[in-house]
């Protein structure tokens, strides 16, 4: 990769980050806090949260096998996505490359930050050659985005494809593993020491069943994590989120049980869908959802809405014409969906 300072926007390199009051007394044994204009009543919520979420990062590091200084925590993965644009991409000059179709927030953040977005279409098996991604880059390409398992297609991008991009691209490569806990593929977190240009995203919104607390994770080199911490808002992860996440991390075996239940239901649902007379194809998946091509998917989508069952209509997305994306729910929820579909005419 290029030297990191050549990839980062010059104004970010010069930036003096906001200094949080809580950063200044760490390790000093302070017990009277009259520095941050907080209300002295209503403890503990009257105090600002730990700006660097140190206890939470240690807990996540133990489970993910990462050093705390290699972890960034944000208000969902979306915060990390936006910050990466703001750190590396100069508006109206730089560009990014991404697979298509994929998670929509990459393009939204590109548009917000006035950065050119270059989508590269997957093939009919929802895979891509590394050279196709590299051919879309130029001297102003700062980031390549690869979601794996991919949303909405559900499949993992081939490991060797991502390795080739990491080895040959001179900028930042982001591998979004939001759905990685449902896949047998090894996490790219384990290769961070090999690829200094790699950022791996993860979240507590999927396997951990905690979308409501909005906690996203980015794993990378300490240098890139330092940049994320430099640019983020001072207290970006609130106290309630940190507390709830710590409680959940104390029982990771519960998450393993949930994943097993979801994967078992995924198998049952896929086999059931294949028997529906209007089902044309169910695509292979490594996530907690699957993509299925149906006869007249928009009509079936509206029919399900009328029945009070909400799925995702992806018919307007490239390569996903007449496709619905089905999230795996509880057994009773899944059964209600199947019952409704079996009555569709």
- 3-class secondary structure, 217: strand
Distance CA 199, CA 148 (A): 13
What CATH class is the domain 4-250?
alpha beta
Residues 6+ apart with CB under 8 A from 117: 95, 96, 98, 106, 107, 110, 111
Given a cut of 90, whether residue 244 has pLDDT beyond it is yes
What's residue 26's pLDDT? 64
Pairing of strands 216-219, 198-203: antiparallel
Nearest to 292 by CA among 309, 314, 277: 314
Given a cut of 60, whether residue 324 has pLDDT beyond it is yes
pTM: 0.96
DSSP, res 133: H
Sign of the CA dihedral with 277 first, then 328, 77, and 48 last: positive
Distance CA 106, CA 172 (A): 14
Domain boundaries, the chain: 4-250, 253-343
* Residue range 253-343, CATH number: 3.90.1150.10
Distance CA 338, CA 274 (A): 11
pLDDT in tens, 39-97: 999 999 999 999 999 999 999 999 999 999 999 999 999 999 999 999 999 999 999 99
Three-class SS of 272-291: HHHCCCCEEEECCCCCCEEE
What's residue 19's pLDDT? 85
% of the chain beyond a pLDDT of 70: 98
Distance CA 178, CA 219 (A): 12
Angle between helix 77-88 and helix 222-231 axes, rounded to 10 deg: 100
Given a cut of 60, whether residue 27 has pLDDT beyond it is no
HSE value, Cβ hemisphere, 13 Å, CA-based, for 222: 3
Instruction: Tell me the CA distances in angstroms from 81 to 78, 84, 126, 155, 193, one per residue in order.
Output: 5, 5, 23, 21, 21
β-bridge mates for residue 172, sequence order: 143
């Amino acid at each position: 990769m290029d030297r990191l300072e050549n990839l980062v926007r010059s104004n970010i390199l010069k930036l003096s980050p906001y200094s949080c009051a809580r950063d200044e007394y760490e390790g000093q044994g302070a017990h009277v806090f009259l520095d941050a204009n907080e209300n002295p009543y209503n403890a503990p919520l009257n105090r600002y949260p730990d700006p660097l979420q140190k206890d939470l990062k240690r807990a996540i590091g133990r489970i993910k096998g990462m050093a705390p200084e290699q972890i960034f925590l944000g208000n969902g993965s979306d915060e990390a996505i936006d910050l990466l644009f703001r750190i590396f991409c100069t508006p109206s000059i730089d560009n990014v490359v991404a697979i298509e179709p994929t998670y929509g927030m990459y393009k939204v953040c590109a548009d917000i930050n006035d950065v050119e977005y270059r989508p590269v279409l997957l093939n009919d098996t929802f895979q891509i050659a590394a050279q196709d991604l590299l051919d879309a880059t130029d001297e102003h390409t700062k980031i390549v985005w690869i979601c794996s398992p991919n949303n909405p297609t559900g499949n993992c991008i081939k490991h060797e494809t991502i390795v080739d991009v990491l080895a040959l691209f001179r900028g930042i490569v982001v591998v979004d593993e939001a759905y990685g806990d449902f896949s047998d593929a090894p996490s790219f977190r384990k290769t961070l020491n090999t690829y200094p240009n790699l950022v791996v995203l993860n979240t507590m919104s999927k396997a951990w069943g905690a979308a409501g607390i909005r906690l996203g994770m980015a794993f990378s080199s300490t240098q890139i994590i330092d940049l994320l911490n430099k640019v983020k808002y001072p207290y970006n992860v609130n106290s309630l989120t940190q507390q709830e996440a710590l409680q959940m991390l104390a029982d990771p075996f519960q998450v393993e049980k949930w994943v097993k239940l979801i994967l078992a239901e995924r198998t049952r649902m896929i086999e059931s869908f294949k028997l529906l007379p209007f089902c044309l194809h169910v695509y292979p998946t490594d996530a907690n959802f699957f993509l299925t091509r149906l006869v007249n998917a928009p009509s079936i989508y509206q029919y399900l809405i009328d029945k009070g069952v909400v799925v995702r209509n992806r018919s307007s997305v490239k390569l996903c014409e007449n496709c619905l994306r089905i999230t795996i729910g509880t057994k009773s929820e899944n059964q209600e969906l199947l019952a409704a579909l079996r009555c569709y005419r």
